[in-house]
Every structure is written in structure tokens, then in C-alpha cells.
Copies of this chain bind each other. A is one copy, B any other.
Amino acid sequence: MSTIWIKQADVVTLDANGTILRGVDILIENKRIKHIGTVPENTQANEVIDAAGYVALPGFFNAHCHSPMTFERGWAEDLPFPRWLNEKIWVAESALTPDDVYWGAALAACEMIRCGTVGYNDHYFYMDQVAEVVEASGLKAMLAWCTFGIGDDKEIGPGADKQLAFSWEWNNSANGRIHTSLGPHSPYVCPPDFLKRVIVLAGQHDLPIHLHVAESQQQVDNSRERYGQTPVEHLNTLGLFDHHTIAAHCLALTENDRAILADKGVYIPRTPITYMKLAMPVRTPVTVLHESGITRVALGSDGPASNADMDMLAVIRQQVLLEKYSQENPEALPGDMALRMATQIGAQALGFTESGVLAEGRPADLILIDFNRPHLRPRHDLIANMVHSAKGADITHVIVDGQLLMRDRELLTLDEKQILREAEQRAFRMVRQDMSRVREYQD
């Protein structure tokens, strides 16, 4: 039996009452939280963590990302979206190999653990490679092999059948830490017949669907022209929302769209840093989603090509700031709600329905944040300090299913030094940097 005893932490439980406990112990047995409160002094534990001045929080669930895009971090800067995509990102990705995806995902996993992420929702190619990373890292994930409405395409990997087959082959692997979903890219690149096929498969295999929806008004206009319906109406007519759906972005919604999404219980991950960096207008703010009865709004980093980091604390802060500023309302989106979006709502989206709350019997998916730092004092309001002042680097310990993935900022499951070197060299090759530059950083 594996036991971790966390001593004297301040615990932000994120339970229904918003309970915050000061200076209490947490006892973890195997995969779950056994007890929160006072632990008898004679308790035996494999690992004892002195957490005086630390805050325990449910770990973050990144509800939408493309983790292997670490390779393109900083590769396409200060460009309009069509040039960003067509001249830089797709050109670079066309040279991608399955091994590259492995190392890109491994680099992302190092970064995510360091920033307190315990689970992520990934949508990319060669996802069997990403699954290997998830298995090795100890993280939780929901993985979708991105599919376009096409047949074989040697450029981006094996045929559509193999891509779809990935989902049921890997579902519930890694001791249940890997969930899979079907990943049709979006209604604008997947024709209705292809989406219908995905919907049938989702039903046959009981798999969620993870796709991009209504990222711009332009997409809505195009959909109306092509199908006489908005993207949300179109997908609803096809029956897609009758399955567990994660519909990323949903930035431009009509009132009817919002009613459909609320009624169907669709999860909507928002990735605010991408919207700001690529200047994508958020026509339907989170406040409006909430007012429309859509309670399942989660948060994600998106890919590191359009955000540039995978730090969920940065995402949380950005969402809160963007909401207050764009609504011209400093009361919009209080910190407690933003933390729930980044933890329990994301966990539910990914099918880890018990995570995101610190309570006895819940999965031990949690992080410790060191508040013994000048920017986190005074502690008038732990929630405010976490949302507006804490940074990824303040997180010292990460525990997933009762396994320590990081102890005192040291990664325990991944060979970070090798990953940094290998991933960077491969990223340089992928973008066809001249060899002199690659050589400069050979270490």
C-alpha cells in the first residue's frame, strides 16, 4: 500500500460550499484521499511532506490542447491567422514524424507537470505516440486522433480508419488514466457524411467526441451559406450532441445555439490566451454562456504555437482578466469560479468525474503551492492570490492517482534533460532551420 502524508497544509477543497481548511493534514492511500484533518502521529507513510505555508488545491485539467505543438513554440510570431496557419504552422507540421510527436508530447508533459496540470485533453496526430507519453508520465488524459473528412493521407499519418481505431484500442489504458475520444477536426473541414460516421462510431463504442466549433463569425456565416444552419445547429441536426461532446471555443453563438448547448450539456473549453495572441474576437463571453444556462465551461491552454505555454494558472488569470475587461465589469467571473472551470469542470469533460474536489474518498489528483514567497503574501484571500499572483513555478508537488509526479520541483517520472535536448533538436529539424543554428545549441 502506497501512502502519502501531507502535513499542515491550507486546503482549498473546491467543494460545493467552497470550504477552505487551514493547517490540516491530508492522508493519501493508494489512489485516493483517505482523510483530511488530523492524522495520528504514529501513522506510517511512504512519503511525508511538510506543507506548512503551502496550499493544497485540486490539480488542473487542461480541457483543450494540442500538446505536441511545443515544437512550434515561437515559430510563428506576430502574424495574421491565415499566414500563421498556411505559411508557418502547416508547413512545419508537414515534416512531422511519429517520433517527433512523441518528443513534442514529452516536452509538453514536463511543462504541464511543472505547472500543476494533472490531466489534459489532447487533439492531434499520431496519438498512439502521445498515449505512450501519458503512460510513462503518470498524467491523466483524454486523447483524440484528429481526423479530417478524408481517406488515406500519407502526409498526416495513416488512414481515417486507423485514426478512429486508436480511440477504442487505447480507451481506459494506463490503469484507467487514458480516456479516448473521437476527434473530427471541425464541421468546416468534416463533411456531413463523415461526421455521421463518427457519430455512429461514438454510439457503438460509447466514446465522447472532441472537436472545434464556431471559432469565428466567418465560420458561422459560411455554415449558414453551405447548410442553412449555424455550426451548432448543423451538428445538432446530425445528432452529434446526443453523445458526450467537448466543443472547443464556441466563440460566436446565437441565442438558439446557446439554448442547444445548454440543453445537451455540451462541454465548452475556452482558451483565452490564443484568442488574444491571434486576435480572435470572443463574441460570446463566458458570462453570456453562464447566463444562458451553460454550466460546463472549462479552460484550456490550446497548442503552444498559439499560446506559447501550457501553464493553467496563466490561463485562469487571463480568462478572469479578459472577462472583466471585455464586459467592462470588474465583478465578472470571480476567482473561485475560474478555479472550478480549470479543475472539476475540466475533469468532468475528460470523464474523470470524481476529480477536481479535495474530499475523503476522492481520487488523489492534487497539487501543492508554496505560499512562502513574497508575491503570495499577505494571505488575505488564498483564492485571489492563486488566481492573480501565483505562477506555475510556485507549484512544488504534483500527485496523480496517489503517485507523486513532482517532488520539490523535481520531475520523478520523466527524463527531463534528455527530453529538452531531443525535442529541441527535432523541432529545429522540423522547421528546417539551417544546420548552423541547430549546431549552436548542441549540448
Residues in chain A within 8 A of chain B (CB atoms): 22-23, 52-53, 70-75, 77-81, 84, 107-108, 110-111, 114-115, 273, 275-279, 281, 304, 307-311, 318, 320-322, 324-325, 327-332, 334-335, 372-375, 377-381, 383-385, 388-389, 391-394, 416, 419-420, 423-424, 427-428, 431, 433, 440-441, 443
Closest 3 pairs (CB-CB, A-B): A393-B393, A308-B388, A74-B384
- Show 7 A/B contacts (Cβ-Cβ < 8 Å), sorted by A: A73-B375, A73-B380, A80-B329, A278-B330, A279-B325, A309-B375, A378-B423
How near does chain B come to A216, taking the closest CB pair, in angstroms?
11
Are A378 and B424 also in contact (CB < 8 A) when A279-B327, A318-B321, A443-B53 are?
yes
- CA distance in complex: A327, B334 (Å): 26
Asked whether, in the complex, the Cβ of A427 is within 8 Å of the Cβ of B380, the reply is yes
Quick one: which of B79, B324, B372, B419 contacts A276, CB cutoff 8 A?
B324
The residue in A22, A111, A114, A329 that gathers the most chain B C-beta atoms within 10 A of its C-beta is A111
Q: Are A276 and B325 within 8 A (Cβ)? A: yes
Count chain B CB atoms within 10 A of each CB in A52, A327, A372, A394 and give the residue with the most.
A372
CA distance A378 to B71 in the complex (A): 6
CA distance A276 to B319 in the complex (A): 10
Q: How far is the CA of A155 from the CA of B406 in the complex (A)?
A: 49
Given B52, B308, B378, B389, which contacts A309 in the complex, CB threshold below 8 Å?
B389
Is the beta-carbon distance between A276 and B322 smaller than 8 angstroms? yes
Contacts known (A110-B374, A424-B378); A78 close to B310, Cβ less than 8 A: no
Q: Which residues of B contact A329 (CB under 8 A)?
A: 80, 279
Smallest CB–CB gap between A206 and chain B, Å?
Answer: 35
Pairwise interchain contact A74-B420, C-beta atoms closer than 8 A: no
B276 touching A420, Cβ below 8 Å: no
A391 B279 Cβ-Cβ under 8 A: no
Chain B nearest CB from A4 CB (Å) reads: 23
Check B276–A74 contact: CB distance below 8 A: no
**In whole angstroms, how far apart are the Cα atoms of A318 and B325 in the complex?**
12
Output the least CB separation between A200 and chain B (Å): 39
Which residue from chain B places its CB closest to the CB of A104 in the assembled complex? B378
**CB neighbours of A392 from chain B (8 A):** 375, 391, 393
Rounded to whole Å, the gap between the CB of A211 and the closest CB of chain B is: 24
Contact between A78 and B275, CB atoms less than 8 A apart: no
Rounded to whole angstroms, the CA-CA distance of A22 and B118 in the bound complex is 36
Q: Find chain B residues with CB under 8 A from A81 CB.
A: 330
**Contact, CB under 8 Å: A84 / B374:** no
Q: Which residues does chain B contribute within 8 Å of A335, judged by CB atoms?
A: 77-78
Q: Which of B111, B278, B332 contacts A375 (CB 8 A)?
A: B111
* Residues in B whose Cβ lies below 8 Å from that of A332: 279
Q: Smallest CB–CB gap between A137 and chain B, Å?
A: 12
Contacting pair B374 A107 (CB below 8 A): yes
A307 CB contacts on chain B under 8 angstroms: 388
Q: Are B385 and A279 in contact (CB under 8 A)?
A: no
Q: B22–A440 contact, CB under 8 A?
A: yes
A105 to B318, CA, bound (A): 27
Measured CB to CB, the closest approach of chain B to A244, in angstroms, equals: 31
Known: A73-B389, A393-B394. A375 touches B311 (CB 8 A): yes
- Which chain B residues border A321 with CB–CB below 8 Å? 273, 276-277, 318
A337's nearest neighbour on chain B, judged by CB, is: B78
- Are A74 and B378 in touch, CB under 8 angstroms? yes
- Supposing A278-B330, A374-B111, A419-B374 touch, asked if A75 and B381 sit within 8 A by C-beta, the answer is yes
Q: Are A391 and B393 in contact (CB under 8 A)?
A: yes
Bound CA span A310–B372, Å: 16
Q: Is the CB of A423 within 8 A of B377?
A: yes
Q: Given B53, B310, B324, which contacts A279 in the complex, CB threshold below 8 Å?
A: B324
